[in-house]
Every structure is written in C-alpha cells, then in structure tokens.
Amino acid sequence: WGNLGHETIAYIASNFVSSETETYFQKVLGNTSTSYLAGVATWADTYKYTSAGLYSKPYHFIDAQDDPPSSCNVDYDRDCGSSGCVVAAIQNYTSIMQDSSSSDSDLDMAAKFLVHFIGDIHQPLHDENLDYGGNDIDVKFGSTSTNLHHIWDTNMPEKYADGYTLADAENWAQNLTTEIKTGAYKSQAASWLKGMNISDPVASSMGWATDSNAYVCSTVMPDGISPLENTDLSGDYYTTALPVIQLQFAKAGYRLAAWLDLIATGKT
C-alpha cells in the first residue's frame, strides 16, 4: 500500500490494542503520541530504497506462483524466495521482538517492520507473482497513466479518502474502527483472528496471505489481464474494488492490533 493505506491500518491497530500494548510500543518506538504506530508505518518503504536497506525489498511481498483468475493459492515453500518474503519477514521480526537479548534499536526496527509488513500482506497484489505483482500491467486511472499494482496501493485509496495526509488516514481509520465495533464488520471481526498463533508466525501470516491472494482471482483480475490493459479503471472497476480495499484495511488493522497484543503480553 501507499502511505495512506499504511497509516490508516496503523491507526486502526492503535484503536484496538490494549493499554499495556500501547505503553510497551510507545516505549519501544520512543513516541508517546496517539500516532506512535502511524508515524512509523511508512518507514520501511523509505528504508528499502537506501543502500543499507536494499536487502529488505523482497520483504514487502510474497510472489505466489499461482494461475489467476482460474486458480489462486500461496505456497510457502514454492513462493518465498531465497532472498526472503513478507511471511519470512513477519516471522523474523516477531522473533526479534520476543528475544530478551534484542537491543533497543533492534526492537525499534522490528516494531517498525511489523507495522508495515502486516499492512502490505493484506494488499492482494503483494501476494501475487504475475507481472511482478501487477506492476507490468499498464492501466489508466482517470487521465493518469499508471499500473495495476499502483492503483491498488495508492490511486484507489486516495480517490476514496480525497487526499493522503495523516489526518485523512486517521479519519478513515476512525470510520473503519466504528464498522468493526458496531457496524458492517461487527459479526465477522472475531473470525479474522482465526488461525492466529504467536508460536507459529509462518502459519499465521500464510493464512493472511492466502486470504488476500484469493482477491486476485475474485476482484483484481476476475476476467484476466486483457480487459484491464490500457483501460481507465476509475469507474466500475474502482466501485467494485473499494469494498475489498476497505475490508483489507480493516482486517490488517485488527490483526495487527492482535499480533502486537500477543507480542506485548507480559512485557509491562
């Protein structure tokens, strides 16, 4: 996701973590404001473009070698490359958070990575290999020439929010938090945590990846690539995609909160 998506997901998580978890991560991140998670949510996207951070580029996705739209699936052994992937990264940075010998700077970095990667794993095209996660599929969005990956990361979320400031993210997060607590997602939110097990971060995050990847077949390219190529997707395609984007932001924020709670348990 772009900045707006990551910050929205982080604000949703801040709304659901326990007060002990909030205290613990505010200390780890050195920020006692209400934006302690949202303020670091995009750090990993800056870091991956630095020479010191290049190693972390593959950690933002898992390249599912499935066959959309007829067959969607993710397989850890098949799809997590030798340079790593988002599932392996979630496992690694979770174990760093749990290791009593981790330094303060290791904990700070691991927390920043987890806030970002649990967001990215919920972007359907971050769980897809085809055309480099859709980056090689040229599309239009209104008068803008871009690609399928980019409209899911950025153009469609920004069209809905009508902006991309931290305040836009906080506002969207507030709306989705209300939907989870008392609205459209109330009856399903508990099911989003099914299969989550802090002792098995690979199985847990493979569940999230499999769930997200299914939307590649159902929503991202239900009729394959050719009807999308060089087409303006800011009309009906956007209208169909938006509920999936909203749902994936809500799931990502709710699952991130639960994961941070499991990490922080017993630490304060």
Partner interacting with residue 26 (select from ligand DCM, Zn ion, none; CB below 5-8 Å by kind): none
| Piece of the chain touching ligand DCM by CB under 6 A; list 27-35, 94-102, 132-140, 172-180 | 132-140
User: How many C-beta atoms surround the C-beta of residue 42 within 10 A?
Assistant: 21
45 near ligand DCM (CB under 6 A): yes
- By CB under 6 A, is residue 157 in contact with ligand DCM? no
Let me know: does 124 contact 216? Beta carbons within 8 Å.
yes
Task: Tell whether residue 46 is a contact of ligand DCM (CB under 6 A).
Answer: yes
Q: Residue 249's binding partner, choosing from Zn ion, ligand DCM, none, with beta-carbon cut-off 5 to 8 A by kind?
A: none
Kindly state the smallest distance separating residue 101's Cβ from Zn ion, in Å: 28
Among 7, 120, 168, 211, binds ligand DCM (CB under 6 A): 120
- Binding residues for ligand DCM restricted to 1-30, rule: CB under 6 A: 2-4
Q: Pick what 132 binds: Zn ion, ligand DCM, none; C-beta below 5 to 8 Å, kind-dependent.
A: ligand DCM
Select from 41-49, 175-183, 208-216, 249-257 the region that touches ligand DCM (CB under 6 A). Answer: 41-49
The stretch near ligand DCM (CB under 6 A) out of 77-85, 131-139, 168-176, 244-252 is 131-139
CB of 136 to ligand DCM, least distance (A): 10
Among candidates 1, 3, 10, 5, which has minimal Cα distance to 254?
A: 10
Measured from the CB atom, is 19 or 145 closer to ligand DCM?
145
- Binds 247, which of Zn ion, ligand DCM, none (CB < 5 to 8 A, cut-off by type)? none
* Amino acid (1-letter code) at residue 163: G
Residue 64 token pair: 């599912």
Four-CA torsion 61, 104, 173, 199, nearest 10 degrees? 60
> Rounded CA gap, 58 and 126, in Å?
10
Q: Give the one residue of 30, 32, 49, 174 binding ligand DCM; rule: CB under 6 A.
A: 49
- Residues between 158 and 217 that touch ligand DCM (CB under 6 A): 158, 164
Rounded to an integer, what is the distance from CA 24 to the centroid of its chain? Answer: 22
- Closest to ligand DCM by CB, 13 or 262: 13
Partner residues linked to 140 by β-bridges: 145, 232
Choose, by CB under 6 A, the member of 25, 36, 47, 61 that binds ligand DCM.
Answer: 61
Q: In the complex, which residues of this chain contact ligand DCM (CB under 6 A)?
A: 2-4, 45-46, 49, 60-61, 63, 120, 125-126, 132-133, 135, 149, 153-154, 158, 164
